[in-house]
Amino acid sequence: MREPGESITTPGMIIPDPVNVDALREGAGELRTEEMIINMGPQHPATHGVLRVILRTDGELILDAIPDIGYLHRCAEKIGENVPYTQFVPYTDRMDYLAAMNNNIAYCLAVEKLAGIEAPPRAQYIRVIVAEMNRIASHLVAWGTYGLDLGAFTPFLYAFRERELILDLFEALCGARLTYSYMAIGGVRFDATAAWCDKVREFLDYFEPKIAEYNELLSFNQIFIKRTANVGVIPPDRAIAYGLSGPVLRGSGVKWDLRKDTPDLVYDKMDFDVCVGDGRMGKVGDCWDRYFVRVLEMVQSARIIRQALAQLPAGECRAKVSRAFKPPVGEVYYEIENPRGQLGFYIVSDGQAVPYRLKARGPSFCNVSILREIARDCLLGDIPAIVGSIDVVMGEVDR
């Protein structure tokens, strides 16, 4: 047993010099750090697909975040220049596969404008109904996976519970649940029956009260607010400069929606509001604002669907288009308001059955471009919140 005051050293033991705490406090000591390169993705659950983000960090601080795309490239535009106009519709499904109906509509409207074709009124109303249903389904995925990115698992289950009901309705309408090919040049492939329309109304009766539940569960959860408020702020001028669109643009307080500002189909006959971020939980244009715009848009989409169902006219659902469809020589650019922003198609025709040139303008491709600017000087834990708030679909980024 050691006696009081007896040394605890043993022969050969090296005793370090005592740390001069006062000197460290006065700055005589130097804290040395090193930068680190971290690859987030392309198989990371918080990148929403095969997006690779090259992070340069100093401890927890993000010095740079470079998005690296192209892992899902499938030459969609080049395929469009090698198949007849009517056969390219299924390829548009696979661009933004969470909003396939909207992609179908954008392409068909572009071809119809090029060829001088107008879809019958009933087809236009049906297009609005399914476009807004697909907008709700897309925003449900964005809502549920965003909670999952930040550690909340329950919203994901709630979102897919409601989304399954929409997919059931789509399956009853056209036989598919993800890639629909429901649109045709000149209208829609199958008419919407009265029984199907009644089912849509039943879904809305069930769905609309759920939005208040979503807000209680996630939107106004204090932990979620702390993770998203004042994070990844995009000022309005920067949003416009980068060509952002959709909820990412409107989340910065910019009131721009093609359905209202340059309406197509029958959107000019619908009464709805354009939802914008207002800085309710932090600065205007933060992650929370972008998230909440999508929640508000689900309310407006349900409102549009009810009006379209009430106004749905009788008649044909498809214009007569020749099987050997050849639009006149010319070019066209047409865009619509996709759930992620402005989706446009540029088509050049040389009078043949196959386009001479086909180019798609994808909203996610433009929206992800600002990631590098808004991620700089954030913390590592903020990156999933920022990427999730942009809501990218890589099939449409890469094409």
Residue 284 clears pLDDT 90, i.e. is over it? yes
Determine the Cα–Cα distance for residues 116 and 267; give it in Å rounded to an integer. 20
Collect all residues with Cβ–Cβ distance below 8 Å to 205 and sequence separation of at least 6.
Answer: none
Percent over 90 (pLDDT), the chain: 83
Determine the Cα–Cα distance for residues 385 and 149; give it in Å rounded to an integer. 7
What are 42's two structure tokens?
A: 């392309």
pLDDT per position as a tens digit, 162-215: 999 999 999 999 999 999 999 999 999 999 999 999 999 999 999 999 999 999
Phi, psi angles (nearest 5°) of residue 371: -55, -40
pLDDT per position as a tens digit, 226-278: 999 999 999 999 999 999 999 999 999 999 999 999 999 999 999 999 999 99
pLDDT per position as a tens digit, 240-253: 999 999 999 999 99
Q: Taking the alpha carbons of 379, 383, 385, 386 in that order, is the dihedral positive or negative?
A: positive
Determine the Cα–Cα distance for residues 399 and 395; give it in Å rounded to an integer. 6
Tell me what pLDDT residue 20 has: 54
Which stretches within the chain are classed as H helix?
21-25, 76-80, 89-93, 100-115, 121-149, 154-174, 194-207, 210-214, 222-228, 236-241, 247-250, 258-261, 287-311, 363-367, 371-375, 383-390, 394-398
Determine the Cα–Cα distance for residues 165 and 94; give it in Å rounded to an integer. 21
The DSSP-derived string for 4-50 is TT-----TTPPPPPPP-HHHHHTT-S-----EEEEEE-SS-GGGSSS
Radius of gyration (C-alpha) of the chain in whole angstroms:
26
Determine the Cα–Cα distance for residues 131 and 102; give it in Å rounded to an integer. 5
What are 285's two structure tokens?
A: 């244009």
Determine the Cα–Cα distance for residues 28 and 54; give it in Å rounded to an integer. 35
Residue 26 clears pLDDT 60, i.e. is over it? no
Collect all residues with Cβ–Cβ distance below 8 Å to 3 and sequence separation of at least 6.
Answer: none
What dihedral angle (degrees, nearest 10) is formed by the CA atoms of 380, 282, 214, 263?
-100
Tell me what pLDDT residue 48 has: 84
What are 210's two structure tokens?
A: 């759920």
Side chain identity, residue 4: P
Residue 63 clears pLDDT 50, i.e. is over it? yes
pLDDT per position as a tens digit, 112-148: 999 999 999 999 999 999 999 999 999 999 999 999 9
| DSSP annotation of 318 | B
Determine the Cα–Cα distance for residues 359 and 354; give it in Å rounded to an integer. 14
pTM of the complete model:
0.89
Go through the domains of the chain in sequence order and give each one's CATH number. 76-370 (1.10.645.10)
89-126 CB burial, b ≥16 within 10 A, e <16: bebbbbbbbbbbbbbbbbbbbbbbbbbebebbbbbbbb
